[in-house]
Structure 1
Amino acid sequence: MLLREKILLGVFVLFMCWSPAIPSFVFGQEPRNVKEDTSQTARTKMGLPELIRLALKQNPGLSAIRKEVEVADQGILAAKGEHFGRINLEASDFTYGPDNLPLAMKTLIVEQGRIVRDGAGEHNNNLFSFGGTISIPLYTGGRITNQVRVEELGKELAAHRVAHTRDELIFNVASVYYNILKIQDFIRATQKSKEQLLESKRVVHRRFSVGKAAKVDVLKVNTRLASVKQLLIRFLNARKVLHGVLEVLLGEKVGVSRFVVSGDLRSTSTSLTEQLSLQQVQQQALHRRPELLVVKKEVEMQEKRIRIRFAEHLPNISVKGQAQGVTGDNSKLFAQQFAGVFFSIPLFAGGTIDAKVSQERLRFTKLQHTFTQLTLTITQEVQAAYLNMLEAEQRIAAAQAALDEGKEVLRIEALKVREGKSIIENLLDAQTAQLQAEQNFSAAVADYQIQLMALKKAIGQIEV
């Protein structure tokens, strides 16, 4: 029985080894000719312009703000409709008690000063009333005209809010995009450092095996290698987090995006269309910033609201007409109608109109102060963005010089270690410095691009 089990086990192992359905990595081998997941191959590579266009199309926050423009359109139509007045049709059917019929529905017969017959029994108790009214304003003290203008300004205000939200979205997408490229550069530099450390580890192990290196040198290389591996894991996780942020900005589901971020941070050439001084940039911002334009429109709207409130002091003139008929099942039609011009002027309102006008004027003063404060804030934001851009530009040159020197130092130290003319600490220090220089350069380039986009946003001229 034991022999039979051994034979069956041998046949099973032989079958497993020869079966093409079993992947090679089960036996500790590297998989070969493994096809990538279709969900990965189907994803589109997208640069910054494509990402921005997708965000402008799909971002739900921007879509919600755009609806304000449509709401304002309907407000304009509603305000203009006040010019045309109102036409109402009315109809009713009532049931009265025998003694409660309207006087108009009773036929009175009077003989020698006394009622012989009131006619109540000649009708049933159901009365039907129908008619209509018409009212057309002729003069309202400018209330309707000013309200129309308020709604039109509201539409312009909504458009400026859309522009502000759009600029914020573009800046956020660009900021995340450049940070992703920066992290990808960090990952490449860290992987390169890892490969260099693996080579250093191989050299030190070889020297240690022949007695030319101490055990502590091996431990130092292993410690540094473990540190670099942990750094690589942290960068990979940071890239995933940034991808999630970008997916939210694009209106995509987190973790199931249909795109791959493409681009090379060091080949970006975004720049201002023209070189301007700080004062020129600040002046442009005061004419272009959507937030400032929003407050300007709010000030204009508040002026119109003051006029609307003050119009309550002025008379109202309108044309009104009414036609109405009343009948019952067994009665004749009793009809009445009238038409004319009506004039109404408020004489006393307990001070409520003056209080409302004062309230609107105080709001107007508040908006003026808000406009002044926002002007100062925008001027400071432009200055900060302008100086930050210049600082980032200077950092690029310094980081490039440090990177070139770090590469040369690392090359020399690696050569000296191979020839046994230097200690391992110098090589590890050179590798650390070179990795830091790589990161500093990538960070400087990314910061420059972000600050350049921040300056465009501060000016109010972000374009796709």
Structure 2
Amino acid sequence: MPAALSQAYSANPTLNAQRAGTRANDESVSQALSGYRPTVSANASISAERDFLKQLTGNRTQDTRFPRSADLTVRQTLFNGFQTGNQVRAAEAGVLGQREVLRDIEQQVLLNAVTAYMNVLRDAALLNLQKNNVEVLEEQLKQTRDRFNVGEVTRTDVEQANSGLASAQSGQIQAAATLKNSVAAYRQIIGSQPKKLQPVKVPSFLPKNQNGAVQAGLANHPSVTAALHNVDAAAMQVKVAEGALYPTLSAQGSVSQGYETGSSKNSTSASIGAFLTVPIYSGGGEYSKIRQTKELLGQARIQADVAREAVRANVVQAWGALEGARGEIQAFQAAVTAQGVALAGVREEAKVGQRTTFDVLQQQQLLLQARASLIQAQRDQIVAAYTVLSTVGKLNASALGLKVARYDATTHYNQVRDKWIGTDIPDGR
């Protein structure tokens, strides 16, 4: 299974799409940092002017000019109520939260891959079980016909054996169809056809008990940590909104060059200054936004509590499913052994006329059901074990020891965080 999980980790489209979204979110920090940087703009203009003059002597003259000008302006914000700094911190919290969302999607994809892998294993085993059952019933039908030919059994026994074989053949067809569905799901999640799947063992690094699992989940699950980062981002947004009530101080410098303007052929001008803007009242929109961001902060805190309770419930459910599967395996193993012994006894009794063909078929069906239930319980145990790992935040490439190039979300972030200019996408993927 490690090879299948490695392939899903590298090539699953859902996971790769989330990685792209995380990279796009990295740009929010660079955008927030732009508030610390100057803005530079340039303007240029050209026009044509013609003056017509009529002198006292009656002569007409005309003067044609082509005024041209160019100017460069640099503006730098010096103080804006700490809005830029708080916007940067809010964006950084958002980036950290988005990384936790990515980690959660990674867990979901890996758990889906485990489930798809175990479903194929289960359905392949069930199909083999049904094929073996058909072979056994074909042989039993042959023996029943032979006994009928010598008068040991009646036509009813033959028809019962025939009916049991037809039912087994139907079960084989259904098992084959179910396996095809599981193979299709496997290909969708992992990206290739299943080949030579090997049995899977329960992970050795599971929490020792339910309480330990709950504590690990509350501390490590990405949905909880993402919610906490959202609280931090919401708190910074409150400060950003409050910053709109502070004065704004900026500096601006400009230089301008003109040609053929008015009576002068050339003109040059330059200016530099500081500008202070003090907000007094602008309709109450800023106050409304402050109140709004405070409510959003309260919502984020409630959502963090909701995330904790959801993780707690998921851990308890997953742990219960794991313990239930363990108990079922023991019970069905005992049932398979008992049903096997019972079937052998019924067959011997049928040979001496103490049991009917119907009794043999019924016991054969009970053994088949016990074996199928054991296969299902074995599959459920593995899926439940990996579900426990997912609920405690440990279902990832590092914990599983997957031999694959690990995706590092900080690589792209560091490439774009302090980038001042450029439209090329970096290769930190």
TM-score (norm 2): 0.87
Q: 1:97 to 1:51 in 2, by over 3 A?
A: farther
Alignment of 1:75-86 (within 5 A): 75-86=28-39
How far does the alpha carbon of each residue in 1:390-410 deviate from its partner, in whole angstroms, 9 at most, with x for none? 111111100000000111111
Corresponding residue to 2:257 among 325, 330, 355: 325
Which residue number corresponds to residue 234 of structure 2?
A: 302
Aligned to 1:141: 81
Q: 2:310 aligns with which of 365, 377, 386?
A: 377
Compared CA separation, residues 182 and 229, structure 1 to 2 (3 A): same
1:431 aligns with one of 364, 370, 385: 364
Cα distance, 1:261 vs structure 2: 5.1
1:359 matched residue in structure 2? 292
In 2, the alpha carbon distance for the partners of 1:335 and 1:77 equals 36
How far apart, CA to CA, are the structure 1 residues paired with 2:121 and 2:293? 51
Q: Please list every run of 5 or more consecutive structure 1 residues that lacks an aligned counterpart in the other structure.
A: 1-47, 100-105, 107-114
Task: Return the index of the structure with the highest Cα Rg.
Answer: 1
* 1:253-402 matches, cutoff 5 A: 257-260=192-195, 262-264=197-199, 268-328=200-260, 331-402=264-335
Q: Once the two structures are superposed, what CA deviation does each residue of 1:261-298 show, in whole Å capped at 9, x if it has no partner?
A: 5123xxx3213515523222111101111111111111
TM-superposed CA distance for 1:454, in Å, is 1.3
Output aligned runs, 1:223-238, within 5 Å.
223-238=163-178
In the TM superposition, what whole-angstrom CA distance separates every residue of 1:173-230 from its partner, at most 9, and x where no partner exists? Answer: 1112112211112112111111111111111111111111100100000001000000
2:425 paired with 1:461: no
Q: Report the Cα distance in structure 1 between the residues aligned to 2:204 and 2:217, rounded to whole angstroms.
A: 14
The residue number in structure 2 matching 1:199 is: 139
What is aligned with 1:410?
343
Partner secondary structure for residue 313 of structure 1: coil
The number of aligned residues is 392
After TM superposition, give the deviation of residue 422 of structure 1 in Å: 2.6
d(CA) in 1 for partners of 2:62 and 2:240? 56
Distance in 2 (CA, whole Å) between partners of 1:134 and 1:386 is 63
* Cα pair 2:187 2:193 within 8 Å, conserved: no
Higher relative contact order (CA 8 A, sep 6+): 2
Whether the 8 Å contact between 1:124 and 1:328 is mirrored in structure 2 is: no
2:91 maps to 1:91: no
Distance 2:329 2:271 in 1: 85
The structural deviation recorded for 1:122 is 6.7
What letter is aligned with 1:90? N
Partners of 1:398 and 1:129 in 2: CA distance? 92
The counterpart of 1:447, out of the listed 366, 380, 398, is 380
Please show how residues 12-51 of structure 1 align to structure 2 within 5 Å: 48-51=1-4
Q: State the 1:461 CA deviation.
A: 0.8
Q: Distance in 2 between matches of 1:391 and 1:259?
A: 28
In structure 2, the CA distance between the partners of 1:55 and 1:121, relative to structure 1 (3 Å rule), is farther
Instruction: Measure the CA separation in 1 of the matches of 2:390 and 2:127.
Output: 30
Greater mean deviation of Cα atoms: 165-174 or 421-430: 421-430
| Contact 2:186-2:193 at 8 Å conserved across structures | no
Q: TM-score, normalised by structure 1?
A: 0.80
AA of the residue aligned to 1:395: E
User: Distance between the aligned counterparts of 2:108 and 2:142, measured in 1?
Assistant: 51
Q: In the alignment, is the contact (CA less than 8 A) between 1:133 and 1:322 conserved in 2?
A: yes
- Deviation of the 1:69 alpha carbon: 2.6
Instruction: Indicate the larger mover: 320-329 or 292-301.
Output: 320-329
Give the C-alpha shift of residue 95 in structure 1.
Answer: 3.1
Judging changes above 3 Å, is the alpha-carbon distance between structure 1 residues 274 and 74 closer, same or farther for their aligned structure 2 residues? closer
Matching residue within 162, 166, 170 for 2:106: 166
Contact 2:104 2:222 in 1 (8 A): yes
CA distance in structure 1 between the aligned counterparts of 2:3 and 2:333, rounded to whole angstroms: 29
Q: How much identity, in percent, do the aligned residues show?
A: 19
What displacement does 1:82 show?
2.2
Deviation at 1:412, TM superposition (A): 1.9
Q: Tell me, yes or no, if the aligned pair for 2:50 and 2:62 is still in contact at 8 Å.
A: no
Please report how far the alpha carbon of residue 444 of structure 1 lies from its aligned counterpart in structure 2 after TM superposition. 0.9
- Specify every segment of 5 or more residues in structure 2 that has no aligned partner in the other structure, as ranges: 401-429
Task: Work out whether residues 220 and 392 of structure 2, in 8 Å CA contact, stay in contact via their aligned partners in 1.
Answer: yes
- Counterpart of 2:133, as a letter, is S
